[in-house]
Amino acid sequence: MKFTQDEKLAVASTVIAVIKADKLLHMGEIKFMERLKKQIGIDIPTVEAADDLDRDSALVTLHKMTYQKKKALVKILREAAISDDFLHETEMDLILQTFSNIGLGEELD
Give residue 17's Cα distance to chain centre: 7
> Residue 108: its pLDDT value, please?
52
C-alpha span between 94 and 2 (Å, rounded) = 24
Phi-psi sector, 65: left (phi>0), alpha (psi -120 to 50), beta: beta
Phi-psi sector, 12: left (phi>0), alpha (psi -120 to 50), beta: alpha
Tell if the pTM clears 0.75, that is, is over it: yes
One digit per residue, the tens of pLDDT, for the chain of length 109 reads 899 999 999 999 999 999 999 898 999 999 999 999 999 999 999 999 999 999 999 999 999 999 999 999 999 999 999 999 989 999 999 999 999 999 997 555 4
Domains and CATH numbers, the chain: 5-103 (1.10.3680.10)
Non-local CB neighbours of 51 within 8 Å, separated by 6+ positions: 13, 16
> Residue 109: its pLDDT value, please?
47
> Residue 107: its pLDDT value, please?
54
> Residue 106: its pLDDT value, please?
55
C-alpha span between 42 and 97 (Å, rounded) = 25
